[in-house]
Amino acid sequence: MPDNSAGNNAMRNTVMKNFIGARAMPDLVYHSPKEMSDLMSLFDTHGTSARVVAGCTDFIPSIRTGRWCFDHEPNLIDITKMPVLNQIEKTDDVLKIGAGVSLTRILESPEVKVHCPVLAQAVEQMASLQVRNTATMGGNICMASPAADTVPPLLVSDAWVIIHDAQGEHRVLLTDFFTGPGRSVLTQGQVLTHICIPVKKSNEAAWFQKIGTRTAVIISVVSAAVQVSVTNGICETARIALGSVAPTSVRVAGAETFLEGKPLDEQVIKECARLAAQAISPISDLRSSKEYRKDVAQTLVKRSILACREVLK
């Protein structure tokens, strides 16, 4: 998990097109701080050569494929050995997940299952057991891939992240966190420490669906998450997020406001899904064409709202 992708001189974003095969890892120095103060002093000592990592399940392939390379020896700071970042806590109305918690622990956590089931639903469909045992949600967010599967569920849950630097802690809404593919607001000397999620209320339901070329170990072609709150059969609030259809995961505000104040009947849901697909302009790439993505986004939004309605029955 790198702490930033933009503005770091130590890293050149050299993309080697048509390169197949494994590159050597660069020479590096490995640090595993235990306390936040150790981590901050590592930032001080190593300046721009400091790189924060967690599970490394995306970091290693990024180097192997040549997506990333370093001008000089990076100082890797592994945050998974920090007890303070390895906890799932529930305080009042917020579920707080440390950036070093593995995806398997999120999936198996009873708190997550009760208070943010949509996140568990997404994590279950991610990668493989072996990768989930190593990878972290903090890493998934910081890599800022538009296809990150934990992001749409977090966006519809109104999650925020806590960023720690020399000045102390900052709170950043996840909607403001991403600035582009592989880019976020994190800068040198900052580390994402926690992900905070407001707990689900009893009249709320959320659903996540993704489509890929197979069901396991696959990057999403399109992913969708929906959260609705319903009172007396009328949708009060709606949040819809889509992954892999834009430079970052996106919320589709037009479709959300359309749904609010209306009953969740077939006609309304169909129109809402149409509006969601209309609002996005995905690209064609090796995983899928833009036409297919628009089509599938519409279907996934429709299915997710229907599933939410089913949950609330």
Task: Give the binding site for another protein (CB under 8 A).
Answer: 22, 24-30, 32, 55-57, 60-61, 64-65, 73, 76, 78, 80-81, 104, 127-131, 133-134, 215-217
Strand order in the sheet with 75-78: 29-31, 75-78, 50-53
| Residue number, 32 or 87, with CB nearest to another protein | 32
| Residue number, 99 or 246, with CB nearest to another protein | 99
Rg, C-alpha atoms of the chain: 20
Least separation in angstroms between CB 60 and another protein: 5
| Residue number, 55 or 182, with CB nearest to another protein | 55
Q: What three-state secondary structure class fits 70?
A: strand
Residue 249: other Cβ atoms inside 10 A? 30
DSSP 203-266: TEEEEEEEE-SSSSS---SEEEEEEEEEETTEEEEEEEEEESSSSS-EE-HHHHHHHTTSB--H
Q: Which residues face 90 on adjacent strands? A: 95
Query: Phi-psi category of 261—alpha, beta or left, where left has phi over 0 and alpha has psi -120 to 50?
Result: left
| Residue number, 56 or 206, with CB nearest to another protein | 56
| Residue number, 22 or 234, with CB nearest to another protein | 22
Cβ-contact 216, 149 below 8 angstroms = no
Least separation in angstroms between CB 128 and another protein: 2
Least separation in angstroms between CB 282 and another protein: 24
Least separation in angstroms between CB 194 and another protein: 21
Cβ-contact 225, 153 below 8 angstroms = yes
Least separation in angstroms between CB 61 and another protein: 4
Which candidate, 95, 293, 117, places its Cα nearest to that of 208?
117
Least separation in angstroms between CB 221 and another protein: 17
| Residue number, 28 or 162, with CB nearest to another protein | 28
